[in-house]
Structure 1
Amino acid sequence: MNTVSNGLAVVEKYLAIVLMIVMTAVMALAVLFRYFLNSPLSWAGEASVFLLTWISFIGGSLGLKYKAQASVTFLLDILSPKMRKTLLIIGYVLILIFMAVVLYYSYTWVFSSSTVSQKSNNLQIPMWIPFSAVPFGLSFAAVHILSHLSGLMRKEEGK
């Protein structure tokens, strides 16, 4: 599972880099056209919001991969190693349950007939494309959490 998580993280990093470069270029063009050419781009704001949404969900997934979230660990620090692992396992399982619920509803939402037929105002792209950031990001994050959980279980078995 760790190999899958690591491979997915590489793909996510490159995807995030490309999306950030594209968003930066779109915003720079928007400023150039609005203030220097006096001809604003109507689609730039919408494209930036869609790109930022994708970047946020991919970044959130990478944050889970590298355990980069802010956390208060004083309780974990005072517990015995066995209790610490038990608490971490419970935490990972709760995160996975939450993700499963949100994933179910996000896939239902993205593939609903109203979303599939809906188009964005300025870009005229199908709305399932920007909305897909939610299930994709959470699916990637679930893989990373499963990897952490399996690694924690292997440590426990190795003792």
Structure 2
Amino acid sequence: MFNRILDRIEEVLIASFMAAATLITFTAVVMRYAAGEGISWAQELTIYLFIWMAKFGAAYGVRTGIHIGVDFVVNAARPSIKRVLVIISMLLGVVFTGVIAYFGARWVIFIHGTGQTSPDLEWPMWVIYLAIPFGSGLMCYRFIQALHKFVKTGQFHSHTTIGEQGEESPL
């Protein structure tokens, strides 16, 4: 139940960030050409929305198996070694994203103490930087989920071509 709610929140956030960035950019361009004056904060907000979208999108990619991965070594290995390589790579993903989430949280705390604000929106920068610990923490959780599933079943999510959705790849 928790994972289904989290999945839905993740998907809604990604779509909302993308839609908002697109709408803001479109509106800013129309205003610039129609009224001769753009929206001064549009570019800054669009950048922040894309940062948040990318962080949550990376976690979504891990969850669905579409995150970028280099499997040349795994595919070239003997079957007895493939399982170990997959587990090691997932553990490295857990460690890396966990470290980024931890240091991202420390950075947010530091920036909060400085009182910095964004140039155009004048939002507290610590709020914007929350994308780092939230996105990386969610990505770490997704790696843990994928690792658990792989250890338990020997399968993991894999991206598929159109018409093959819902299938999972065995090792």
Matched residues, number: 154
Q: Which residue of 1 aligns with 2:20?
A: 22
- 1:32: how far off? 1.3
One-letter code aligned to 2:29: V
Q: Which moved more, 1:142-151 or 1:111-120?
A: 111-120
Report the residue type matching 1:84 in the other structure: K
- Name which of 51, 54, 64 aligns with 2:52: 54
Counterpart for residue 137 of structure 1: 135
Unaligned 5+ residue runs, structure 1?
none
Identity of aligned residues (%): 26
Q: Which residue of 1 aligns with 2:164?
A: none
CA distance in 2, matches of 1:136, 1:129: 11
Output the CA distance in 1 between the equivalents of 2:13 and 2:104: 21
Whichever structure has more helix as a proportion of its residues is: 1
- Taking the aligned partners of 1:22 and 1:113, their CA distance within structure 2 comes to 26
Task: State the match for 2:145 in structure 1.
Answer: 147
TM-score (norm: length of structure 2): 0.81
Runs of 4+ more than 4 Å apart: 3-6, 113-116
Superposition CA RMSD, Å:
1.9
CA contact (8 A) 1:16 1:58 kept: yes
Instruction: Give 2:96's match in structure 1, choosing from 98, 104, 110.
Output: 98
Question: Normalised by the size of structure 1, how large is the TM-score?
Answer: 0.86
Cα 1:4–1:142 change in 2 (3 A) is farther
User: Contact 1:16–1:59 (CA<8 Å) still a contact in 2?
Assistant: yes
- Of structures 1 and 2, the one with the larger relative CO (CA 8 A, separation 6+) is 1
With over 3 angstroms needed to count, the CA separation of the structure-2 counterparts of 1:5 and 1:36, relative to structure 1, is same
Deviation at 1:8, TM superposition (A): 2.1
Q: Following the alignment from structure 2 to structure 1, what is the Cα–Cα distance between the partners of residues 108 and 68?
A: 30
- Please say if residues 119 and 126 of structure 1, whose CA atoms lie closer than 8 Å, have aligned partners that are also in contact: yes
